[in-house]
Homo-oligomer: A and B are copies of this chain.
Amino acid sequence: MAKFRLDEVDHQILDMLIENTRIPFTDIAKKLLISAGTVHVRVKKLEEAGIIKGSSLTLDYQKLGYSFIAYVGIFLEKTSQTKFVLNRIHEIPYITVAHITTGKFNIFCKVRAKNTKNAKDIIFMIDDIEGVSRTETMISLEESINDKNRLMHSIFNDL
């Protein structure tokens, strides 16, 4: 994989798109004092290089009736079952992200549920997967996301 070098203009284009993917390229061009064609070419290159993998909406899950977030740590009977269990995990629609981890747990995943009853069902579902010996749940009382930390100037400027 050839290393792709991004310059300051790329960073700024990415930052604007991170904040709003539907911002017109003409607006980006105006702010950066370059032409819209240049923005177009650069974004295309970033897509071709795979730096930009896609785009997605940020939804208000609370308003959609999902006000419950939990993290579930999973202990396996044998680590050789990891892939199998991970596949089962992803069949559960309420789980969006899972990690294979070192340390305390073997697998670690995020659950978004409607309420405590719904969450309980999901956790039981995880417990029932073949190979899972036990689970440990952490319930989120409040999620706080720092969107600024997603921007390029945070990513590329060291502390």
Contact = CB atoms under 8 A, between A and B. Distances in A.
* Copies of this chain held together in the complex: 2
Interface residues of A, number: 65
A34 interface: no
Interface in A124-154: 125, 136-146, 148-150, 154
Contacts of A80: none
A31 interface: no
B53 A55 contact: no
Contact of A155 (B19, B58, B66): B66
B143 A4 contact: no
Given A51-B60, A56-B58, A108-B140, 15 more contacts: A14-B57, A20-B54, A20-B55, A21-B21, A51-B64, A71-B101, A93-B149, A93-B154, A94-B149, A96-B149, A101-B141, A103-B137, A103-B138, A103-B139, A105-B138
Interface of A: 1, 4, 6, 14, 17-22, 49-60, 63-64, 66, 69, 71, 73, 86, 90, 92-105, 108, 121, 125, 136-146, 148-150, 154-155, 157, 159
